Structure 1
């Protein structure tokens, strides 16, 4: 988040409203910090109006940075004051906020983000706060740290997904106010996808088997939800598997052509809703063959996503494998990789 330097701030200081806009928080939040933690401006203009000096602004910026990383507000306020005085304190710049052994911060985390998060990791709270502020740089950095620290599977299940689900619940339950959270969901989804793709392309590169058959991932026609496949891509890369990602809403003929052209370990078809879960197309994909004449091979097909449940619950096609979780998909695909590791 770009902020002005000290010499760019008004000599008279900023009002609470001006500082709130600068930080991307509400004036109520600043007043709450002052009331609860004594975290307010040092002076008032004409004895009435609160004015935040450049030193006060720097302290408030540090407070926002710390709470965005998951530091509890009381601890963040104490550390920000120490930081402003030049004293040594915990939680300084660049430090990763510690995670309790049970994986949560011990509270029903809601304060600061306005989202119904429940008991979550401190990184998730920080991510939610940054997303609600639309602080893209902080969101990106928190996601990078989470994936590097926990790996893509844990980062998704315990940091990214709970934050996204909380935004979705807020959006659905808040009426007109919920419309304000659409941009939060879009920002968060885009950056999560970017973080996972970056991890697959760079961090997971040394662990991928160069000679192994790739897993072909695709959304069905009309299906635009690619984020779950981004998650699977990153986790498979961590397991040493290569991935060929076709993306969202792949036309049926293009999907069949890709299956016939590529010697793949398996094909994963994602359907978010029953409207896009096309069982007839899935059977066509399962029947497609690749390889030289006389030795053509069929590729295993995995049906992933909640959209397949009503389609496959009654009579699961024998030529298809229905997986119901990320762990189930990874276990199945890594098993296939051990059985058929090379081209």
Structure 2
């Protein structure tokens, strides 16, 4: 451990505390956009006490504590101007927080008694949760975009987005009808962020990967994440979304002749094993050159194993992507007779 440095002379500026953070780091920690922090500083004088070289903002623990209080207050509907006055007044040496701006004991703001059950997660995950609880749509959008750009889509999904979605879902399940608005806002912005991922040029003439949710299944975000990452890698995708009826799934397989089909089930009530058997039996292509699709089952509804020996289970986006790529590679090396395209002339 390094020795404690000597105190600087009085005519020199003191060194910054080790805990002083940049505006970007504070924004990620609190789940607000850097633009919001600068706006609060400009409008309500709730900025950092120190600037590095007179230009760069550096937020100390005391500065951050004020911001955390302001975030909790605004999450409860307190106007930003009043929340800022309360946060400044609650600082060490300041006045107590006015009763009119006090945070109720039932607050859902992260860090309060009803905080989202996140556990050990990345700081970006906590910031995203805080923004979602505050219903701060611009911050949620910016944090999601930053997560995808900085960490890549797979890591952003597995280590930031999915843990936050799970925490919101658990909170909703344990709190009756509360927090539904948080889940809906977060889910909407996650879906928008996934659709903004630019796909690479797909290989011409290659059969697609078919993605669908089981009949009655409304949870589409995991399939949207998979569609985005497959598209990012230049693999053609046919995404059919939520609750695809059984007959429509059969027709989609026959008409597209996918090399692999992924069927998502969130709960046991939508994990239809009879449907699995019927889909694995589908043949497509010209007579005499019929082909089969690899059926891959994803989602907790299917349980730990595969309900049919002709299927394979997917667990997680990263490992599932590897299984899909292996299935596609096996299809590419199959005999030509088993790789014929879908039958032509099928009904629309």
TM-score range for the pair, normalised by the shorter chain length = 0.5 to 0.7
Pairwise mapping of residues 246-257 of structure 1 onto structure 2 (< 5 A)?
Answer: 246-257=240-251
User: Which position in structure 2 is the counterpart of 1:205?
Assistant: 200
- Structure 1 residues 173 and 198: alpha-carbon distance in aligned structure 2, compared to 1, 3 A threshold: same
Among 259, 264, 270, the alignment partner of 1:265 is 259
User: Which position in structure 1 is the counterpart of 2:214?
Assistant: 220
Q: Does 1:320 align with 2:311?
A: yes
Q: Which runs of 4+ in 1 moved over 6 A?
A: 19-22, 37-40
Pairwise mapping of residues 282-321 of structure 1 onto structure 2 (< 5 A)?
Answer: 282-309=276-303, 312=305, 316-321=307-312
- Structure 1 residues 253 and 22: alpha-carbon distance in aligned structure 2, compared to 1, 3 A threshold: same
Please list the CA deviations of residues 237-271 of structure 1 after superposition, one character each: whole Å capped at 9, or x if unmatched.
23332210011111111110110001211011111
- Equivalenced residue count is 259
User: Which position in structure 1 is the counterpart of 2:227?
Assistant: 233
Q: Does 1:163 align with 2:158?
A: no
Q: What is the TM-score normalised by the length of structure 1?
A: 0.65
Q: What is the TM-score normalised by the length of structure 2?
A: 0.64
Tell whether the 8 Å contact from 1:20 to 1:26 is kept in structure 2 after alignment.
no
1: distance between equivalents of 2:134 and 2:112?
13
Among 180, 190, 202, the alignment partner of 2:178 is 180
2: distance between equivalents of 1:214 and 1:38?
65
Tell whether the 8 Å contact from 1:113 to 1:132 is kept in structure 2 after alignment.
no
Please list the CA deviations of residues 269-322 of structure 1 after superposition, one character each: whole Å capped at 9, or x if unmatched.
111111111111111111111111111111110111111117x56xx4222222
Alpha-carbon RMSD? 3.7
User: Which position in structure 1 is the counterpart of 2:22?
Assistant: none
Pairwise mapping of residues 1-343 of structure 1 onto structure 2 (< 5 A)?
Answer: 23-24=74-75, 27=78, 31=86, 34-36=89-91, 110=111, 114-174=115-175, 179-199=177-197, 202=198, 204-206=199-201, 208-309=202-303, 312=305, 316-341=307-332
Tell whether the 8 Å contact from 1:219 to 1:271 is kept in structure 2 after alignment.
yes
Please list the CA deviations of residues 137-175 of structure 1 after superposition, one character each: whole Å capped at 9, or x if unmatched.
221111111112111111111111121122223223345
| 2:196 partner SS | helix
2: distance between equivalents of 1:256 and 1:134?
40
1: distance between equivalents of 2:167 and 2:99?
37
1: distance between equivalents of 2:203 and 2:114?
41
Q: CA deviation at 1:120?
A: 2.0
Tell whether the 8 Å contact from 1:140 to 1:195 is kept in structure 2 after alignment.
yes
Q: Which has the larger radius of gyration?
A: 2
- Structure 1 residues 280 and 331: alpha-carbon distance in aligned structure 2, compared to 1, 3 A threshold: same
Q: CA deviation at 1:222?
A: 0.7
